[in-house]
Amino acid sequence: MKNLIVANWKMNPNSQKEAKEIFDAIREGVRGLKSEVVVCPPSVYLYASIFGEGVVAMGAQNIYFEDKGAFTGEISALMLKDLGVTYTIIGHSERRKYFGETDETVNKKIKKALETGIKVIICIGETAEERDAGKKNEVLERQIKQGLAGITDLTNINIAYEPVWAIGTGNNCDVAEAKEAINFIKSVIGSTTVGSVVPENFRVLYGGSVKSENSGSYIKEAGANGLLVGGASLKADEFVKIVQSAE
């Protein structure tokens, strides 16, 4: 199974010129490496001429769950598919926190992405308060079960474990703790989808203050099948080192 290394640029950078420079450097840096690499820029930069030829897959940071119509400001899965997008992040904690994303909207978006032929990276993770209150597993289980409600074939689904307290803080999750969470997520996936299609190579990624100094340990010690990288993915050489660490 290939590791899946995903760059989430969030709302950066501020110009096409910078975006192209980072893309070009990432594309050349990861060429020939074994992992599957996906870059998720702001949607205005999702066009093939900036991405170049297929070494790096195009990913969106979000989609809307309706096909078309009076939904000002939204972008449909069909539009993204037409641009050549093959992956989308769904349910990032920043979308849950600032844009009212719920397990219910996450569920609708996953269904729409799959129906459209776009693979998904679902983000789940507990806040510091939930962790301190001993509710981590409860939160993860709820986000998985409600997010995947009614979905039986998990072939094109990946889950990213992103503890909210580890995002953008420099306070990356301890490897042992990440390992425990990844195993727990895999056990929930195994149990909730009895009778349905869970691929043997179902991938669980880790995200939250990933840097090249810690990235390899999530793959090699915590058992993550990939990484979801925020800040460090905007520095091409650092991101390339992260991809190399997963070889």
Which residues lie near ligand 13P (CB under 6 A)?
8, 92, 162, 167-168, 207-210, 228-232
CB of 60 to ligand 13P, least distance (A): 13
CB of 17 to ligand 13P, least distance (A): 22
Compare residues 64 and 165 and give the one whose CB is closer to ligand 13P: 165
36, 94, 101, 162: which is the annotated catalytic residue?
Answer: 162
Cross-strand bridge partners of residue 115: none
18, 74, 92, 247: which is the annotated catalytic residue?
Answer: 92
CB of 108 to ligand 13P, least distance (A): 21
| DSSP code per residue over the chain | ---EEEEE--S--SSHHHHHHHHHHHHHHHTT-SSEEEEE--GGG--HHHH-SSSSEEEES--BSSSSSS-TT--BHHHHHHHT--EEEE--HHHHHHS---HHHHHHHHHHHHHHT-EEEEEE---HHHHHTT-HHHHHHHHHHHHTTT--B-TTEEEEE--GGGTTSS-PPPHHHHHHHHHHHHHHHHHHTTTSB--TT-EEEEESS--HHHHHHHHHTS--SEEEESGGGGSHHHHHHHHHHT-
CB of 46 to ligand 13P, least distance (A): 17
Compare residues 94 and 198 and give the one whose CB is closer to ligand 13P: 94
**Which amino acid belongs to residue 35?**
S
Shortest-Cβ-distance residue relative to ligand 13P: 230
CB of 72 to ligand 13P, least distance (A): 26
Q: Left (φ > 0), alpha (ψ -120 to 50) or beta: where does 166 sit?
A: alpha
Compare residues 29 and 226 and give the one whose CB is closer to ligand 13P: 226
Compare residues 167 and 198 and give the one whose CB is closer to ligand 13P: 167
Compare residues 136 and 193 and give the one whose CB is closer to ligand 13P: 136
CA-to-CA dists, residue 117 to 42, 125, 185, angstroms: 20, 25, 24
The answer to whether residue 162 is catalytic is yes
Q: Catalytic residue numbers?
A: 92, 162
